[in-house]
Chains A and B, each alone.
Chain A
Amino acid sequence: MSNDPVDVLIIGAGASGAAMAWSLAETRMKILCLEQGEWMNPADYPTTSLDWELKSFGEFSYSPNTRKRTVDYPINEDNSPIKVANFNGVGGGTVLYAAHFPRFHPSDFKVKSLDGVADDWPIDYQTLEPFYAENDQMMGVAGLKGDPAYPDKEVSMSPVPLGVLGETLARGFNEKGWHWWPSDSAIATEPYDGRDKCVNLGPCIAGCSQGAKASTDITYWPHALRAGVELRTQCRVKEITVNEQGMASGVIYFDENGHEQVQHAEVVVVACNGIGTPRLLLNSTSAAFPEGIANSSGMVGKNLMFHPYGHVQGMFDRPLKGYQGPGGCCIWSQEFYETDVSRGYLRGYTMEITRGKGLVSTAITGMGAGTIPWGANHHEAYRREFDKSAGMVVICEDLPELHNTVTLDPDLVDSDGMPAPKIDYTLSENSRRMLDHGMARGKEALIAAGAYEVSSHGPLAVAGWHNMGTARMGLDPRTSVVNEWGRSHDVKNLFIVDGSIFVTSAGVNPTSTIQALALYIADAMKKRLANLFD
């Protein structure tokens, strides 16, 4: 390992960093990626063990505050009803995501013009469309053409099977006369680009031992590495440094032994997502940038958006085989996606069917909820619940608000002594109303599908999977951090390519859009190589 200067330094090897590295590799520039986590071994994922459910609650929890791996950083989320979910390692959040892979809709980019709320994006669906398609090819997306909730698009593979549970819920939506469609899923349903096909293990969100789920450690990274990109793991970037001209000069990082290293670069790309990116920018202070690099607008860390999630569950009188099949990917409904002001809120949500729980989870959640008692009646109640519940999550569009923030905690630090992020977040009235509407409609769908008992709760606490908006994109340097192609307004060789640059959140999972944005920004950089800093 040498710290010779590089042309492009990418910070973070997750969804966006991997896509950026692969796309830029064709330029033959010297590209280095620093990742604070490690390479994962799929054989270590929980589903290879009989204790798979317990492992997924603990060492493979999607909460960094529960997981507490050395490579994780703690997050002060006391002032937020929604807690952050992430993963630090090669592949980033894609290691533990459900692999739901919806695109944004055309309307999602123009919410100000259409609904008078938040801001329009400086780009539109058509701008990203070719990069969505390119990303779908790289990740491998299973789905079905013809979804009426979207413009036409291609799919790579046949959809994931619905199983008894999915077909039961689909009949419920049909009974209501509502839209549903098999989910676009970044899951190989047939051998794809060196990956084996899905064998319906269940808990995709604990890591895919089969290698069928498209995490970027097994999609983009093998291609990027073969093309000459260097990836250094267990390297936690402490700060982005600047030179006398106010340009980024590189970074200081902690190596695997905790020793500080200096790495110089011509271009710095930040890909740490909606919490990690503002944390790093705010930690990168200098005489030129006393409030954090790229923060002349004061927008770094502001406008944090989660997707408030509601959970709806129904009990059925027959087995649904719900623990078989990709846990988070089955069918979705976008019946209530687009704005209808008569509903009492603006914008909309997706209903995503989730599959059933395993033996241990059924017991723990049932005893926690009081539906499975201790004692003589335990077994009968358990038998009534196991494999007889079906549910869905309602994923609501969150709108940007200045008071929802990521700042630096004055006391909490990570294992290298670097200040940790602090989250302050409140649910808006619009989100609350949308959540209530969605959970009520979800109950109706489950009853129509045959559920004899339904329940709901929201917002879900540890459901902050999607962290967006904290270094927003825009045309005006006074109100945004990066321009319409991801370059910092303040520092012309600094780029941001992750979910932090989202202007709004849409009502769908963001990974597909995060990666399409990264590919789009990489393309913009390649087209401007001769005058990239003008």
Chain B
Amino acid sequence: MRDQPHARHAIGDVILRAEGISLRFGGVQALTDISFEVREHEVLAIIGPNGAGKSSMLNVINGVYHPQQGTITFRDRSARRMSTHDAALAGIARTFQNIALFKGMTVLDNIMTGRTLRMRRGVLAQALYLGPARREELEHRAVVERIIDFLEIQAYRKTPVGRLPYGLQKRVDLGRALALEPSLLLLDEPMAGMNLEEKADMCRFVLDVNEQFGTTIVLIEHDMGVVMDISDRVIVLDYGRKIGDGPPDAIRANQAVIDAYLGVVH
């Protein structure tokens, strides 16, 4: 018998703090003075209409974009200009709205690419498959196999990703991000374009990641049902500004959010 519906790691201290983030592309103000916090082990959703700056916000967090103002502090390390490499090294992984996988490579190899950062041996040692490189490869393979088992994609291990249906590709994309063994996982619309069953599966995997590995999750999602169901906290963006921040129930009742996003009859 379960103690509670989602018994999990207790939500802890702040691990990521965004302060006064502003981002411009030429004359376009993508983000304006945005501040928020992410706490350890929580599931945080970022919602907002198209063009609100949700994906830009994720890109700022993992160093793809560098904001003109403001800082990101991740585990006591502040940076205005963090590189994607630094972000990954620090334990931030992400998936992409338009699946970023190597279509011609197998599921196994694609997830293995997620291990690249954790590989210690030099290119030469790996190419020659020397003893230590070989041992290392086996260790990485073991991690990848656990992910394959976790995501229940054993049947597609050797299938080229391009031949898989969309919902499964999304799952592999998640697997590739998990291969980094991240402490913070950024998911950019993990359920976009999925049918009901695929969505339910994906929800379960997201919650399982959070529950079993204690991974902190920041996700962008449009399906309000999903958002209200699985997140601990919701941040609402509109035209690059933050207009709401709080638990799902409070967001649902927030008039500014309702006007901007959840829908009113004009």
Do A and B bind? no
User: Which A residues lie at the B interface, using CB under 8 A?
Assistant: none
